[in-house]
Amino acid sequence: MKLSHPSADIFVPAGEQTPEAALRRVTHLCIGAHQDDIEIMAHAGISDCLDAPGKAFGGVVVTNGAGSPRTGSYAHLSDDEMQAVRRDEQRKAAQIGRYAIQLQLAHPSADVKNPGHAGVAADLAAIFRGCTPEVVYLHSPADKHDTHVAVLLRCLEALRALPPGLRPRRVLGCEVWRDLDWLVDAEKVALDAGRHPALALDLLKVFDSQVTGGKRYDLATLGRRAANATFNTSHATDKYEGITWAMDLTPLVTDATLDVAAYTLAFVARLQADIAGRIAKFR
């Protein structure tokens, strides 16, 4: 397997297979913009693969992480040094979570934001052609982080270019920078992120450059999952101990004529109608 950027990293945690063989095993694939996005977005997929023989989780980080904030013991690090730290942290997460493979493409964010960047397109095409996952976890198109949205769009372009028989059965857009609690209930995809709570904490705390560097993603992520589970429904006890919300993006892959913005804004319109209808009912 060859990736386009010279700093790209291919890691097979078990070390017993070639990268090509490890990628072929993947049934649950998460593609995130930055190191630690996978662990925030797709703990449900990681858990699914731990709990079921024959399933394997694969992670892909598209950008190099050079622009991350840093304080404390990391404040003095250069961008190159920070990239090395974050690359090692992501490798540790892959080991702890027993991923089949972890790919770090190391593209600068500016390249990912360029729809015509050949290297980004080639890498994503090679990954999607190298496995046939049941489910792919991507960023949500309603995310408020520019790089997250750019990574999503590059992934959708690559998925749409696949022959229909090679496309994943399910593609989900997961919450990170902007939660998805605002989706109307009928359109929420509830990912069971309450399993393996000790592992969930370990996976988040691996990213020490972020957690002790000024961003408590460990507390925030676990808190949001618990809140999602409790506030899911007002008239029933909690079904899960933690939930990550997602929206179904599969139609955007199966029908390339759908406009991503229009598709996403339709969710917002249905929320607007839900709010208006509930107020009108009791006015």
* All residues at 6 or more sequence positions from 234 whose CB lies less than 8 Å from its CB, including other chains: none
CATH label, 9-257, candidates 3.30.470.10, 1.10.150.120, 3.40.30.10, 3.40.50.10320: 3.40.50.10320
User: For residue 132, which of 192, 53, 60, 58 has the smallest C-alpha distance?
Assistant: 58
How high is the pLDDT of residue 63? 96
How high is the pLDDT of residue 168? 96
User: For residue 131, which of 218, 56, 188 has the smallest C-alpha distance?
Assistant: 56
How high is the pLDDT of residue 214? 77
Structure-token match 């095993």, residue found: 25
Q: What is the mean pLDDT of each run of 10 residues along the chain (283 residues)?
A: 94 92 97 97 98 94 83 80 93 98 97 95 97 97 98 98 94 97 97 97 94 88 97 87 98 97 98 97 95
The runs of H, that is alpha helices, within 54-195 are: 79-96, 109-112, 118-130, 146-160
Longest dimension (CA), the chain: 65
How high is the pLDDT of residue 137? 98
Q: Left, alpha or beta for 68 (phi > 0: left; psi -120 to 50: alpha)?
A: beta
CB distance 43 to 200 below 8 Å: yes
pTM for the full predicted model: 0.96
User: For residue 138, which of 12, 13, 252, 49 has the smallest C-alpha distance?
Assistant: 252
How high is the pLDDT of residue 171? 98
How high is the pLDDT of residue 79? 83
How high is the pLDDT of residue 146? 97
